[in-house]
Amino acid sequence: MDYLREIEGKRLHDRNPNEKMMMKSSRCVCVSGPIIVGAGPSGLAAAACLKVKGVRSVVLERSHCIASLWQLKTYDRLRLHLPKQFCELPLMPFPEGFPTYPTKQQFIQYLEAYARKFDINPSFNQSVVSAEYDQVLGLWRVRTVGLKKEETEYVCPGLIVATGENAEPVVPDIEGMKDFGGDILHTSLYKKGGDFGGKRVLVVGCGNSGMEVCLDLCNHNASPTLVVRDTVHVLPREMLGKSTFGLSMWLLKWLPMRLVDGFLLIVSRLLLGDTARYGLHRPQMGPLQLKNLSGKTPVLDVGTLAKIKAGDIKVSPGIQRLRPLSAEFVNGKTEKFDAIILATGYKSNVPSWLKEKEMFSVKDGLPKRPFPNGWKGESGLYAVGFTKRGLLGASMDAKSIADDIEMCWKAESKHFSYFARPSSLQS
Ligand SMILES: Cc1cc2nc3c(=O)[nH]c(=O)nc-3n(C[C@H](O)[C@H](O)[C@H](O)COP(=O)(O)OP(=O)(O)OC[C@H]3O[C@@H](n4cnc5c(N)ncnc54)[C@H](O)[C@@H]3O)c2cc1C
């Protein structure tokens, strides 16, 4: 344990006096297995896949619960957007009685049962603030800050990034935002339409969340206006008695993507009509090709379009600027609103804490190598859940990572027996 004392001494030496005063306490923990950052579905999947291979990991989570995105940052009416068979994690199917599109609560129940089944016990309230590979030690140093600002440094041979594509809300800077005067909130804080009954609400962003929030508002006696700045593919959630996603996956086994896109667009036109008539213009490129190239997900309609057609949800072009309790649009029109909901998406937070430039792009915090090769970096660095392919992509990553770690670590098992395992911390 001599080298550990050396680490501790160096860390204290490196700090300036102010930093030392701010630190509540600092400890160093050596871990014999990999550290997984994030206890969302991806982190849980990676921990479970490793567990069944006999590799114990430590899961660090900034929040006080697993799946914090689902538990704390999603609206009440949310259901899985895709059928359950495309959303289950490795090694454990959904319970038989679950509907095709499980509710948010059912999905959370499933994840809690998953963590119990594989005995995954994350260290909660541990925000990872930096992670760096120490070339001299040949190990990763991962620094966390707890609720009372207490610091911990973990030293480990592998690092699995599972902080998600949705770690931080994206809040656009709209001219005049400060003058608006009414509530402006991101969808991560939106819970239910009932909170906006009788109000005129401007919903910015026409992805799945923006469209669904509009429907929820409408069903709760609010008057939503949807801002549609870009082109968007709206597809029916189901076609020919099958889920659109499932049918697309099946067709892709036999036909080129271009033809499957053509098929999806024809059936969508038959079932939904010409969405451009309602202000929802389609991109030039087909929905699957666009998803493949840019990651932009098509909207799966759950009833919003019917409300738009009926005039219960208005569609407006981009915002020019906000004024007190009103918005001026790029077409020159101005309308009054009581509140604004920003359905403007999320971004990765990896560049803010991972000190590494090869694997992850500093620009968007996603792996630079495209799917399916983005899960593995150098020196025991891995990424799970950054494929822009939802839970299905996360499951694929988790399995690949566990296979790789099992293979590499068996070969290097001598090296890892060097560490004393703090069993209380390891899943
Ligand atoms: C509204 C909504 C609906 C969706 N519906 C579907 C769907 O139906 N099907 C589908 O496949 N996908 C869906 N998705 C995509 C979604 O991203 C995945 O379902 C899933 O949540 C991704 O899991 P994850 O573990 O990668 O990320 P997350 O669920 O975001 O989990 C990441 C975890 O990392 C933690 N974390 C972040 N930074 C740090 C840090 N520095 N230190 C410690 N911990 C940290 C977070 O607190 C969080 O708990 C949906 C997304 C949204 C927003």
The string of DSSP codes covering 86-109 is GTPPTT-PPPTTS-SS-BHHHHHH
Give the torsion sign (CA, 134, 137, 140, 142): negative
Q: How far is the CA of 327 from the centre of ligand 1 (A)?
A: 32
Catalogue all structural domains in the chain, each as residue range(s) with its CATH number.
2-167+348-426 (3.50.50.60), 170-342 (3.50.50.60)
Which residue CA neighbors atom 29 of ligand 1 most closely?
40
Find out whether the beta carbon of 167 lies less than 6 Å from any atom of ligand 1.
yes
Q: What pLDDT sits at residue 413?
A: 66
Q: Is 32 helix (H, G, I), strand (E, B) or coil?
A: coil
Q: Which residues pair with 131 in a beta bridge?
A: 142, 354
How far is Cα 44 from Cα 37, in angstroms, rounded to an integer?
A: 10
**Is the peptide bond preceding residue 93 cis, with omega within 30 degrees of 0?**
no
- Reported pTM: 0.92
Strands (E), 19-138: 26-30, 35-37, 58-60, 127-134
Q: Is 400 helix (H, G, I), strand (E, B) or coil?
A: helix
Nearest atom in ligand 1 to the alpha carbon of residue 209 is: 1
Q: How far is the CA of 303 from the centre of ligand 1 (A)?
A: 25
Q: How far is the CA of 386 from the centre of ligand 1 (A)?
A: 10
Find out whether the beta carbon of 40 lies less than 6 Å from any atom of ligand 1.
yes
Q: Is 134 helix (H, G, I), strand (E, B) or coil?
A: strand
Phi, psi at 76, each rounded to 5°: -60, -40
Q: What pLDDT sits at residue 18?
A: 47
Nearest atom in ligand 1 to the alpha carbon of residue 389 is: 11
Q: How far is the CA of 164 from the centre of ligand 1 (A)?
A: 5
Longest CA pairwise span in the chain (Å): 73
Find out whether the beta carbon of 210 lies less than 6 Å from any atom of ligand 1.
no
Find out whether the beta carbon of 87 lies less than 6 Å from any atom of ligand 1.
yes
Which of these, 201, 158, 70, 209, lies nearest to 426 by C-alpha position? 158
Which residue CA neighbors atom 37 of ligand 1 most closely?
163
| Alpha helices per DSSP H over 324-412 | 390-411
Q: Is 203 helix (H, G, I), strand (E, B) or coil?
A: strand
Name the token pair of 54: 């006999």
**Residue-wise pLDDT tens for the chain (427 aa)?**
333 333 443 443 444 444 444 445 589 999 999 999 999 999 999 999 999 999 999 999 999 999 999 999 999 999 999 999 999 999 999 999 999 999 999 999 999 999 999 999 999 999 999 999 999 999 999 999 999 999 999 999 999 999 999 999 999 999 999 999 999 999 999 999 999 999 999 999 999 999 999 999 999 999 999 999 999 999 999 999 999 999 999 999 999 999 999 999 999 999 999 999 999 999 999 999 999 999 899 999 999 999 999 999 999 999 999 999 999 999 999 999 999 999 999 999 999 999 999 999 999 999 999 999 999 999 999 999 999 999 999 999 999 999 999 998 777 765 554 333 444 445 5
Find out whether the beta carbon of 353 lies less than 6 Å from any atom of ligand 1.
yes
Nearest atom in ligand 1 to the alpha carbon of residue 86 is: 11
Find out whether the beta carbon of 398 lies less than 6 Å from any atom of ligand 1.
no
Which of these, 249, 253, 264, 243, lies nearest to 80 by C-alpha position? 243
Using an 8 Å Cβ cutoff, are 161 and 336 in contact? no
End-to-end C-alpha distance for the chain, whole angstroms: 23
Q: Rg (Cα) of the chain, in Å, rounded? A: 24
Nearest atom in ligand 1 to the alpha carbon of residue 101 is: 8
What DSSP letter does each residue of 239-268 carry, written as one string? ETTEEHHHHHHHHHTTS-HHHHHHHHHHHH
| Alpha helices per DSSP H over 75-232 | 104-117, 208-219
Nearest atom in ligand 1 to the alpha carbon of residue 392 is: 11
Nearest atom in ligand 1 to the alpha carbon of residue 79 is: 8
Pocket residue to mutate for ligand 1, from 130, 163, 244, 354, most atoms within 8 A of Cβ: 163
Q: How far is the CA of 41 from the centre of ligand 1 (A)?
A: 7
CA dist 81 to 104, 297, 313, Å?
10, 11, 21
How far is Cα 162 from Cα 286, in angstroms, rounded to an integer?
A: 30
What DSSP letter does each residue of 277-324 carry, written as one string? GGT-PPPSS-HHHHHHHH-PPPEEESSHHHHHHTTSSEEE--EEEEET
How far is Cα 337 from Cα 183, in angstroms, rounded to an integer?
A: 10
Name the token pair of 353: 């804490």
